[in-house]
């Protein structure tokens, strides 16, 4: 990845709706060159998706989000990749990471209820022969999402407490 691409990604990461003309001005390049670089990164898979950052706590519809730690025995031949592909197929799974440390996968899921998350774990995750254990953590409140505060911070100086 070259400097232009890194600069473009910095702009798009902060605001994925930023038009190419504005990106070009911000990175000091011609619009056409910026558009070509963006298309190239999309083709290579560097840019995977453009998405809005949504604070579901502010919405009327209830949504339960959970982080599931999954410890597995790697499969012969495909290792962790085969397991990850199977887990990722489920619609409840929003994000899936291979981790280092005490567990192998971190699965981030969304459901309409705690019961839905429980059903996903018992009917999907736990049915894999390779799963050794799971630990589930429910998200209670979000304060910061992808670098953005969920509540507007008051401007001005912070009060000093004695």
Where in the chain do CATH 3.30.70.920 domains reside?
A: 56-142
Task: Round to whole Å and give the CA distance between 68 and 152.
Answer: 30
pLDDT band per the 50, 70, 90 thresholds, residue 144:
confident
Tell me the average pLDDT of the chain. Answer: 89
Where in the chain do CATH 1.10.10 domains reside?
A: 3-44
Q: What is the mean pLDDT of residues 75-96?
A: 95
Look up the CATH number of domain 3-44. 1.10.10
Instruction: Output 12-15 pairs: Cβ under 8 A, ≥24 positions apart.
Output: 12/38, 12/47, 12/50
Task: Round to whole Å and give the CA distance between 72 and 105.
Answer: 8
Angle between helix axes 20-27 and 31-44 (nearest 10 degrees) is 100
pLDDT on residue 157: 62
Look up the CATH number of domain 56-142. 3.30.70.920
Tokens of 33: 């060159």
151 secondary structure, DSSP code: S
Task: Round to whole Å and give the CA distance between 102 and 94.
Answer: 22
Judge whether residue 60 has pLDDT over 60: no
pLDDT band per the 50, 70, 90 thresholds, residue 156:
low
The pLDDT tens digits of the residues spanning 113-134 come to: 999 999 999 999 999 999 999 9
Task: Round to whole Å and give the CA distance between 107 and 137.
Answer: 10
Judge whether residue 150 has pLDDT over 70: yes
Q: What is the mean pLDDT of residues 55-83?
A: 86
Is the pTM value of this prediction over 0.85?
no
């Amino acid at each position: 990845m070259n400097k232009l691409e890194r600069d473009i990604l910095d702009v798009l990461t902060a605001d994925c709706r930023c038009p190419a003309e504005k990106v070009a001005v911000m990175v000091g390049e011609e619009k056409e060159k910026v558009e070509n670089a963006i298309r190239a990164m999309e083709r290579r898979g560097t840019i995977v998706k453009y998405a809005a950052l949504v604070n579901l706590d502010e919405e009327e519809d209830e949504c339960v989000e959970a982080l599931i730690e999954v410890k597995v025995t790697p499969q012969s031949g495909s290792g962790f990749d085969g397991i990850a592909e199977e887990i990722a197929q489920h619609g409840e799974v929003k994000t899936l990471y291979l981790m280092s440390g005490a567990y192998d996968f971190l699965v981030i899921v969304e459901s309409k209820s705690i019961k839905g998350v429980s059903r996903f774990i018992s009917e999907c995750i736990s049915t894999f022969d390779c799963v050794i254990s799971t630990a589930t953590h429910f998200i209670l409140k979000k304060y910061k999402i992808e670098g953005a505060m969920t509540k507007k911070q008051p401007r001005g100086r912070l009060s000093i407490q004695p």
